[in-house]
Amino acid sequence: MPGKPDAPEDSPLESFSHCHEGILTHLGALGELPALAAAATRARELAGQTQRFFAEAMLAHHEEEERELFTAVQASAVAGEEAARVQAMVQRLTEEHRAIEVLWYRLAPQLKRLANGHVEPLDGALAGELVSRYRAHADFEEREFLPLCQRILGRNGSHMAALGLALHMRHAPQKLPYI
């Protein structure tokens, strides 16, 4: 320790010096706690936000695509090669939805525990696989499927309008009749 008086190794003063070293080591660790506590708080918040978003938005998005968009595009596709291409894409996207959802359902309990303040490791490989698969899925939809949907549904304005109306009705607040 700098500035420490010269004292024999077995001196009582050496005992005090060793205590100071331990205290200073623990104080150094204490200095790390605010950042660690902030990171833990952020992890809890992020886990909760992610859990809510995926449970509410992702699953509903998949359902809406399958029920409204896929159905509309399949119904509007020209029989033959175009309809077969649409069917193959819809099959792929639906299978990807299920695979992504399986990953989500495996990760969700870990996120829930983390959001509730339980300190435990999160399966990084599982989270990484979910992120990777979803990015690839969204890329394929944006690059291949949605432009095809635009061409198919855009040929007939009433088909695009029907899809728009179906989506609007799904999202419109339901009014209960007066009793």
Q: What is the CATH number of the domain that holds 57?
A: 1.20.120
What integer pLDDT is reported at residue 1 of this predicted model? 47
What integer pLDDT is reported at residue 3 of this predicted model? 53
Q: Do the domain assignments include residue 12?
A: no
Q: How many domains does the chain have?
A: 1
Q: Do the domain assignments include residue 21?
A: no
Q: How far apart are CA 91 and CA 110, in angstroms?
A: 30
Q: Do the domain assignments include residue 8?
A: no
Q: Do the domain assignments include residue 111?
A: yes
Q: Do the domain assignments include residue 70?
A: yes
Instruction: Report residue 112: phi and psi, to 5°.
Output: -60, -45
Mean pLDDT of 143-164: 81
Q: Which of 157, 158, 156, 138 is nearest to 146 (CA)?
A: 138
Q: Do the domain assignments include residue 165?
A: yes
Give the domain range for residue 117. 47-170
Tell me: the pLDDT tens digits for 91-150?
999 999 999 999 999 999 999 999 998 888 889 999 999 999 999 999 999 999 999 999
Q: How far apart are CA 11 and CA 16, in angstroms?
A: 9
Q: Do the domain assignments include residue 28?
A: no
